[in-house]
Homo-oligomer: A and B are copies of this chain.
Amino acid sequence: MSTPRPDPLTFEVVDLIGSVVARYHEEYDRAAAQHSLTGAQARVLALLAIEPLPMRQVARTLKCEPSNVTGIVDRLEARGLVERRPDPADRRVKVAAMTVTGARTARLLRDSLGFAREPLAELSRAERTTLRDLLQRMVGEQQ
């Protein structure tokens, strides 16, 4: 309700994180567009690159409604990047899994993400370690 009165330093850090988020999105969307994918499609593809997942679980991971996943997977499937497989254990479930083409596209997508290289190249190994530890504590402790 009342202003939490964060100190200027915290404000500065939050502001910088905002810039990082913006940069991250620009790069991500640009890389996705290079493969004619939207951001959402690229995210699902990257997710399924780790392991096949039931539709429901894709929705949970993306924190969106299951009905959205239907459409996104529809479009990925229409392009032959993903396929729906039955789950022998539960016939209600459909497992979204990458095709060989999808796996190749996911790999290209990851490689074309310059974000990994350019901004971090400025930092020394020791600095990157420090950054990792600080971010880990920011993200890890919480939740």
A135: chain B residues at CB < 8 Å are 13, 16-17, 19-20, 131
Inter-chain CA distance A132–B129, complex, in Å, is 15
Question: A90: shortest Cβ distance to chain B, in Å?
Answer: 29
A14: chain B residues at CB < 8 Å are 113, 115-116, 120
- The answer on a CB contact under 8 Å between B16 and A17 is no
- The answer on a CB contact under 8 Å between A134 and B137 is no
- The answer on a CB contact under 8 Å between A13 and B138 is no
Place the interface of chain A in its size category: 35 or more
A88: chain B residues at CB < 8 Å are none
Beyond A17-B24, A125-B9, A132-B12, whether A4 also contacts B142 by CB under 8 A is no
- The answer on a CB contact under 8 Å between A136 and B21 is no
